[in-house]
Amino acid sequence: VSAAGFAAVRDHVVASPDVAERLAAIADRDELCAAVLALASATGADVTESDLDDALVAGTRRTLERWL
Amino acid sequence: VTPDLRGWLPYSVDVGPDDPELRWCHLAGDRLTSPFFEQDVGDALRRPFNQLFDVRTPMTAAAAHLAAHRPLDPTAFIFHTGRCGSTLVAQLLATDPANRVVSEPAPLDAVLRAPLRRAVAPERHLDWIRTVVGALGQPSPGERRLFVKLDSWSIAGAVELDAAFPGVPWLFVVRDPVEVLVSQLRSPSMTMLIGAVPAELFGVSSAEAVTWSPVRYAAHIQAALLRRMTELVDRAHVIDHAELPAAVGPWLVELGIEVDDAAAAAMRERSTRHGKSGGAYHDDRAEKQAVADDEVRAAVAVAAGPAHRALLASRTRPAVPPA
């Protein structure tokens, strides 16, 4: 994951409850990634589709580790 | 960047760092309605959003957020002896959309037990407890009250919880230890796993407890929990499993909560289903008594049975008012 760009988007989401609420309600991964890329573009953060794929893989691993 | 964690739920706490770290998931406006906190967390973590964003904050950042965005004050804390109907009580409460019901939240267990893992000054420990309860008590839309059902062993942390939240009403839910033991021996809970829940919380060393039979250890746990509840009984309303579900309504009235016809109907409907599985409920007290063998009865007779009777005899308020 491109640490700086993705972290900037995450920090923006965590500081913006309305944005977090809207994104959290998206049940489809592709739709969510498109929305996050649009948000990154709007906020000037350097985030690619590959960054999001990596973050989702890391998230899946976190979830598995939690349940194992 | 200052986090604004409204809508987020802390799902774990690492008490190791000097400033403990909370991990958060977003609930997307959902209420906590599953029998256990962990189930709601599992549902939330499956959301793509929570897979994408790994959000962690220091405890101090969470406290600062809560100072700016006041959460619900706790309405009541629910302690119990395990396998006693407390999950049904939580589920009855959750039928009211005004109630936020947090059922055995791991983050609170972690901070209550933090002094077993590390040194922490008492006042700082209380701050952690307040912060975690506050973070758990951030309301979803429509929620006005906060009920927290603790893990069974959390009665060991009752004094700290009372110091953090003086005056918040307590409920004790208990059951005939013979029936509890039959359930625990069929399907042991985490309480029975000495490596997961230290035996020291029940007044015996882990080294000694591992030499005991499961029946003896289960009976010892029940006796320890019930004795501690008896010591604290003046602080609590007590409901026995045999009095469920009828005793919940009067307890809510005692708390000053109006139970209107719709709320009563919702609780009645939920009470027809099992607290944990949600399947059709059948009263299994007679069946559990029938299958309890001599070893179980003898182990319970040592201390747990007398402790259960002593607790019920010592309560100052009737669970169900006389007709």
What's residue B56's pLDDT? 96
Chain B residues with CB under 8 Å of A26 CB are 48-49
- Here the tokens at position A14 are 């965590």
B283-302 per-position pLDDT tens digit: 999 999 999 999 999 999 99
Closest by Cβ to B4, choosing from A17, A24, A59: A17
Q: How far is A44 from chain B (nearest CA, A)?
A: 16
Supply the mean pLDDT for chain A: 93
Output the DSSP codes for B68-89: HS--PPEEEEEEE-SSSSHHHH
Closest by Cβ to B52, choosing from A14, A21, A32: A32
Q: How far is A45 from chain B (nearest CA, A)?
A: 15
Tell me if chain B has a CB within 8 Å of the CB of A4.
no
User: Which of the four pLDDT bands, split at 50, 70 and 90, describes residue B318?
Assistant: low
User: Which of the four pLDDT bands, split at 50, 70 and 90, describes residue B2?
Assistant: confident
State yes or no: pLDDT of B320 exceeds 70: no
Q: Is B24 helix (H, G, I), strand (E, B) or coil?
A: strand
Which carries the bigger pLDDT value, residue B277 or residue B151?
A: B151
B54 vs A23: CB contact, 8 Å cut-off? no
Amino acid in position B78 = I
Angstrom distance (rounded) from CA B141 to CA A41: 31
Tell me if chain B has a CB within 8 Å of the CB of A36.
yes
Residue % of chain B over a pLDDT of 70 = 98
Closest by Cβ to A56, choosing from B3, B4, B52: B52
Amino acid in position B75 = T
State yes or no: pLDDT of B44 exceeds 60: yes
Q: How far is A42 from chain B (nearest CA, A)?
A: 18
Q: How far is B1 from chain A (nearest CA, A)?
A: 7
Alpha helices in chain B (DSSP H): 37-45, 48-52, 59-68, 86-94, 106-112, 114-117, 122-136, 158-164, 177-186, 206-209, 214-231, 248-254, 261-270, 285-291, 294-302, 304-314
What's residue B261's pLDDT? 93
A59 vs B5: CB contact, 8 Å cut-off? no
Chain A residues with CB under 8 Å of B7 CB are 17, 20-21, 24
Angstrom distance (rounded) from CA B303 to CA B184: 17
Cβ-based interface (< 8 Å): residues of B facing A: 1-8, 26-29, 42, 45-55
Which carries the bigger pLDDT value, residue B260 or residue B13?
A: B13
What's residue B296's pLDDT? 98
State yes or no: pLDDT of B100 exceeds 60: yes
Q: At what angle do helices A29-43 and A3-15 cross, to 10 degrees?
A: 90
Q: How far is A11 from chain B (nearest CA, A)?
A: 7
* pLDDT, mean of residues B175-195: 95
Angstrom distance (rounded) from CA B95 to CA B267: 6
Say which residue the tokens 């019901």 belong to: B101
Residues in chain A: 68
User: Which of the four pLDDT bands, split at 50, 70 and 90, describes residue B165?
Assistant: very high
State yes or no: pLDDT of B201 exceeds 90: yes
State yes or no: pLDDT of B323 exceeds 60: no
B49-97 per-position pLDDT tens digit: 999 999 999 999 999 999 999 999 999 999 999 999 999 999 999 999 9
Q: How far is B5 from chain A (nearest CA, A)?
A: 7
Least confident of A40-44, B22-26, B91-95, B194-198: B194-198
The reported pTM is 0.95
User: Which of the four pLDDT bands, split at 50, 70 and 90, describes residue A65?
Assistant: confident
* pLDDT, mean of residues A17-37: 98
Angstrom distance (rounded) from CA B233 to CA B44: 37
A24 vs B7: CB contact, 8 Å cut-off? yes
* pLDDT, mean of residues B143-159: 97
What's residue A66's pLDDT? 81
What's residue B321's pLDDT? 59
* pLDDT, mean of residues A9-16: 96
A24 vs B50: CB contact, 8 Å cut-off? yes
Strands B8-14 and B236-240 come out as unpaired
ipTM for the complex?
0.96
* pLDDT, mean of residues B199-217: 96
Chain A residues with CB under 8 Å of B42 CB are 67
Chain A residues with CB under 8 Å of B3 CB are 14-15
Q: Minimal Cα distance from A63: which residue of B?
A: B45
Supply the mean pLDDT for chain B: 95
Q: In this structure, what are the phi and psi dihedrals at residue B5, rounded to the nearest 5 degrees?
A: -100, 20
Angstrom distance (rounded) from CA B185 to CA B192: 9
Contact predicate B131/B110, CB 8 Å? no
Considering only CA atoms, give the Rg of chain B. Answer: 20
What's residue B322's pLDDT? 55
* pLDDT, mean of residues B196-218: 96
B1 vs A12: CB contact, 8 Å cut-off? yes
A59 vs B51: CB contact, 8 Å cut-off? yes
Q: Minimal Cα distance from A22: which residue of B?
A: B28
C-alpha distances out from residue B267 to B30, B51, B79, B158, B241, Å: 20, 35, 20, 28, 16
Least confident of B194-198, B281-285, B314-318: B314-318
Angstrom distance (rounded) from CA B317 to CA B233: 10
State yes or no: pLDDT of B13 exceeds 80: yes
What's residue B144's pLDDT? 97
